[in-house]
Amino acid sequence: MKVNTETLISELIELTRQNLNKAESFKELELNQLNHKEDPKSWSMLECLEHLNLYGDFYLPEIESRINKSNHPPVEEFKGGMLGNYFAKMMKVEGDKIKKMQTPKDKNPNGSQLEKDCIARFIEQQHKTLDLLDKARMVNLMKTKTGTSLSNLVKMKLGDTFRFVIYHNERHLIQAENVQKRPKEKIV
């Protein structure tokens, strides 16, 4: 995947704003609606957000640290790496279907007792993401590398890391919206 760097950053900013707006709309819902689950194995809306918060807790400090330490000046074009393209493609939602995936145990919030502050935490993370995307304009998105939540030995290009995290957010916000769309009479 090759793209103009500014185009990529602009697209990721727009997607992050959309994710932020979706999360803002969840603040209006009742706690019982936010915690509703179709069955014990499925996730509630808040569990979807908490899953994203757990990933944000790792990736946002990692991204910030790498941007702050980078001495690679920006370049006009971004070319995704093999691993980064693979992970971004896995996360990117195309059409209506979201492929189910195995969630690492430490990132699985199923069964958590969650409150509305989970939404506020996610919103804070989205504001941080917007700030980091703006700062990323000053570094090379290919030569600046980040560790991954899989292992610090596995590195991805900064641009790929942004793509993975933001597409992952989009994916689980759609999942949360799908939970919200379920018939209200089932929500107790």
Residue 143 clears pLDDT 90, i.e. is over it: yes
pLDDT given for residue 186 in this prediction: 45
Residue 40 clears pLDDT 70, i.e. is over it: yes
Cα dist from 171 to 63, 89, 186, whole Å: 20, 11, 24
pLDDT given for residue 96 in this prediction: 65
Structural domain of residue 73, as residue ranges?
Answer: 2-186
pLDDT given for residue 49 in this prediction: 97
CATH number at residue 101: 1.20.120.450
Q: Looking at residues 116-137, what average pLDDT do you find?
A: 98
Q: How much of the chain is helix, strand and coil, in % rounded to 5?
A: 60, 5, 35
Q: How many separate domains does the chain show?
A: 1
pTM of structure: 0.92
Give the single-character DSSP code of 30.
Answer: -
Amino acid at 83: L
What SS3 state is found at 4? strand
Q: Looking at residues 30-41, what average pLDDT do you find?
A: 91
Q: What is the pLDDT of residues 158-183, one digit of tens each?
A: 999 999 999 999 999 999 999 888 75
In this prediction, what percent of the chain has a pLDDT beyond 90? 76
Q: Which residues pair with 147 in a beta bridge?
A: 155
Bigger pLDDT: 39 vs 50: 50
In SS3 terms, 64-106 reads as HHHHHHCCCCCCCEEECCHHHHHHHHHHCCCCCCCCCCCCCHH
Residue 187 clears pLDDT 70, i.e. is over it: no
Quote the CA–CA distance of 49 and 151 in Å, as a whole number.
23
pLDDT given for residue 184 in this prediction: 52
